[in-house]
């Protein structure tokens, strides 16, 4: 029997041509090793209390073509890799796997992927397809009661799981497992965006209304 997708998932099938994105950033240093292009996918059904980007939960949003997103990634200056976050990347796993293939057919970029699921839960063929293309998986839901200031993780239940050797040298020892803070970008109209894993819980409550992450 075909394994079920996680609730709220959006499997595009093998012919995936589009992706539903919440946000993208062309130069980020706080969501994975080095300088990265970051894609926040639209849609997550987990509703973790304390999530810093609840605006991404809705599955509704505009579609972007994989061709356009791949071209955008490849034009991001100086990036070493891509980070996939959300929202829930496993909800659009097939489309993201196709996107990675498009990008890597032109340049060898590393792939970091965040997911609210544990690796052991990801058994659908679409998940397997994406995981086969991921170098570093950061898994598990954010649990506010276990909030911790850790490298690329917001709570101590979340794991850094190298799936290839690409980022093994970046894995922290116990002494070096500390967060790398946030990046803010301020817009001319007074709005702002931020990226990264907050070092303290309830960040959103402390910030004025604005664009998340």
Distance CA(115)–CA(118), nearest Å, equals 8
User: What binding mask, one character per residue, do residues 147-186 give for ligand SF4 by CB under 6 A, x or -?
Assistant: ----------------------------------------
Location of structure tokens 């998940």 = 127
Residue 47 found at the interface with ligand SF4 (CB under 6 A): yes
Distance (Å, rounded) from C-alpha 87 to C-alpha 115? 9
Q: Is 87 in the site for ligand SF4 (CB under 6 A)?
A: yes
Pick the closest to residue 56 from 11, 101, 114 (CA basis): 114
Segment interacting with ligand SF4 (CB under 6 A) among 39-47, 67-75, 91-99, 165-173: 39-47
Residue 116 within binding range of ligand SF4, rule CB under 6 A: yes
Which one of the spans 2-10, 29-37, 49-57, 69-77 is the region binding ligand SF4 (CB under 6 A)?
Answer: 49-57
**Site membership for ligand SF4, residue 201 (CB under 6 A):** no
Helices (H), the chain: 66-75, 93-104, 125-131, 203-206
Q: Which of 20, 21, 82, 88 binds ligand SF4 (CB under 6 A)?
A: 88
Give the residue nearest to ligand SF4 (CB). 116
Whether 57 contacts 44, CB under 8 Å: yes
Strand, helix or coil for residue 126:
helix
Cβ distance to ligand SF4 smaller for residue 46 or 104: 46
In angstroms, the CA 145 to CA 189 distance is 36
Q: Summarize as ranges the residues that interact with ligand SF4 (CB under 6 A).
A: 44, 46-48, 51, 53, 56, 86-88, 116, 141-142
């Amino acid at each position: 029997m075909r394994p079920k997708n996680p609730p709220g998932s959006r499997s595009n099938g093998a012919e995936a041509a589009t992706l539903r994105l919440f946000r993208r950033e062309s130069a980020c240093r706080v969501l994975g090793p080095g300088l990265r292009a970051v894609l926040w996918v639209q849609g997550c059904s987990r509703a973790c209390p304390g999530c810093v980007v609840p605006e991404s939960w809705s599955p509704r949003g505009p579609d972007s073509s994989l061709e356009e997103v791949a071209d955008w990634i490849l034009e991001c200056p100086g990036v070493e890799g891509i980070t996939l976050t959300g929202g829930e990347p496993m909800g659009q796993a097939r489309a993201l796997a196709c996107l990675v293939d498009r990008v890597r057919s032109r340049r060898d970029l590393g792939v970091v992927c965040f997911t609210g699921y544990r690796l052991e839960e990801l058994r659908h063929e679409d998940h397997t397809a994406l995981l086969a293309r991921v170098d570093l998986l950061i898994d598990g839901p954010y649990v506010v009661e276990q909030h911790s200031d850790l490298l690329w993780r917001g709570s101590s239940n979340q794991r850094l799981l190298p799936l290839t050797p690409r980022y093994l040298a970046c894995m922290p020892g116990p002494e070096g497992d500390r967060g790398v803070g946030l990046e803010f970008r301020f817009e001319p109209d007074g709005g702002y965006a931020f990226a990264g894993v907050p070092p303290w819980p309830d960040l959103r409550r402390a910030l004025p209304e604005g664009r998340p992450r």
